[in-house]
Amino acid sequence: MKKRILTGITTTGIPHIGNYVGAIRPALSMVEDADESFFFLADYHSIIKNNDPTNILNSVKSIALAWLSCGLDPNKSYFYKQSDVPEIMELSWILNCVTAKGLMNRAHAYKSATSLNDNDPDKGITMGLFSYPVLMAADILMFDSTHVPVGLDQVQHLEMTRDIAARFNHLYKSVLTLPEPMIKEKENVVPGLDGRKMSKSYGNVIPLLENEKNLKKSIMKIVTNSLEPGVPKETENCTIYNLYKNFADKSDISAFETSYKEGISWGEAKEKLFQVINAELMPIRSKYLELEKDTDYINDLLSDGAKKARSLAKTKILEIKEVTGITKIT
């Protein structure tokens, strides 16, 4: 069987270091190792929690630019917007019809949203939020993905995808491929400015595509304890250190550890962190500045990507519809 990797990023907010380290960089490093790779902008997922069209559109643009600036090669990978492949929506409905409501009741994202409500558990809950995992399953199953690189927070969605696919295969015919999650190691959770997981919903992100000055400004905002310069410091649970680890090589990391024992000041540690991050982002930033002006190029590229993805999706959806009885009268 072909190895097909697939992953998407929800298009709310601007791309940040967490997206880069957690999703974009590892996904792109797997391209050579796979037979086919699919990277997409989950814009239909983004309207679940965001009703601001300008925000969505800006986010689609900047996340598309982030993938491309980080080295995505549209000749090697499928690259498209979810909304440009309407077959995914058709599949999503079909999957809705085989998905147990009880399975969705157990989804973490839905449960944590209802747990914030006191009296009315349904307050602020849309059907979109409730069936979010079904749309994600459609994204994955549409292209017979075999491997899905995800963070720990998405593992449950992958299990649900497998459950839904197995149920479909059992009810109709075995036409859906059950994907494997490729889980990134726990220690690779990228901390944000306040030490919690870097996430647009926490507002603690370090932006990916900002200029040098703003990158530095952002890094200087990392929250630390109040230990003075000269006092030895712990690397464990230190946000600066945990970020540094994701950008430096082994020898730099051990030198950084030594400087902690020797009482490096937080200011200096942040400066060192800025240096390693900036060194890695420099070529990405210059590619971004070059591409950013050319919206026609990005639009053409995405419409081209959608065309290629749709040629696979059209064949697959016909097969799926046929086994469900949504087909020509004979």
Q: Residues 191, 194, 195, 196: is their CA dihedral positive or negative? A: negative
Among 34, 42, 276, 312, binds ligand TRP (CB under 6 A): 42
Instruction: Return the structure tokens found at 310.
Output: 């749709």
Nearer to ligand TRP, 36 or 139 (CB): 139
The stretch near ligand TRP (CB under 6 A) out of 7-15, 100-108, 222-230, 306-314 is 7-15
Told to check if 148 binds ligand TRP by CB under 6 A, we report yes
Which residues, other chains included, contact 61 with Cβ-Cβ below 8 Å and sequence gap of 6+? 295, 298
Nearer to ligand TRP, 42 or 313 (CB): 42
Nearer to ligand TRP, 179 or 191 (CB): 179
Number of residues that bind ligand TRP (CB under 6 A): 13
124: left (phi over 0), alpha (psi -120 to 50) or beta: left
- The three-state secondary structure class of 142 is coil
Told to check if 7 binds ligand TRP by CB under 6 A, we report yes
State how far the Cα of 280 lies from the Cα of 276, in Å rounded to an integer: 6
Q: Residues 218, 221, 223, 228: is their CA dihedral positive or negative? A: positive
Instruction: Return the structure tokens found at 285.
Output: 């930033």
In angstroms, what is the minimal distance from the CB of 29 to ligand TRP? Answer: 16
Among 4, 5, 10, 305, binds ligand TRP (CB under 6 A): 10
The stretch near ligand TRP (CB under 6 A) out of 56-64, 146-154, 165-173, 242-250 is 146-154
In angstroms, what is the minimal distance from the CB of 36 to ligand TRP? Answer: 15
The stretch near ligand TRP (CB under 6 A) out of 3-11, 244-252, 292-300, 321-329 is 3-11
- The three-state secondary structure class of 89 is helix
Told to check if 154 binds ligand TRP by CB under 6 A, we report yes
Site string for ligand TRP, 113-142 (x = CB under 6 A): -----------------------x--xx--
In angstroms, what is the minimal distance from the CB of 270 to ligand TRP? Answer: 28
Nearer to ligand TRP, 9 or 165 (CB): 9
Length, in residues, of the chain: 330
The DSSP bridge partners found for residue 150 are 183
State how far the Cα of 17 lies from the Cα of 244, in Å rounded to an integer: 12
Site string for ligand TRP, 201-240 (x = CB under 6 A): ----------------------------------------
Among 5, 18, 21, 45, binds ligand TRP (CB under 6 A): 45
Virtual torsion, Cα 307, 308, 310, 314, nearest 10 deg: 120
Nearest to 150 by CA among 7, 3, 38: 7
In angstroms, what is the minimal distance from the CB of 179 to ligand TRP? Answer: 8
In angstroms, what is the minimal distance from the CB of 9 to ligand TRP? Answer: 6
- DSSP summary character for residue 188: G
Q: How many Cβ atoms are within 10 Å of 234's Cβ, its own excluded?
A: 11
In angstroms, what is the minimal distance from the CB of 97 to ligand TRP? Answer: 20
Nearer to ligand TRP, 129 or 291 (CB): 129
The stretch near ligand TRP (CB under 6 A) out of 6-14, 64-72, 201-209, 316-324 is 6-14
Q: In the β-sheet with 78-81, what is the strand arrangement from edge to edge? A: 78-81, 36-42, 4-10, 147-150, 180-183
* Contact criterion met (CB below 8 Å) for 65 and 288: yes
Instruction: Return the structure tokens found at 23.
Output: 């999703």
State how far the Cα of 45 lies from the Cα of 328, in Å rounded to an integer: 32
Q: Which residues bind ligand TRP (CB under 6 A)?
A: 6-10, 42, 45, 136, 139-140, 148, 150, 154
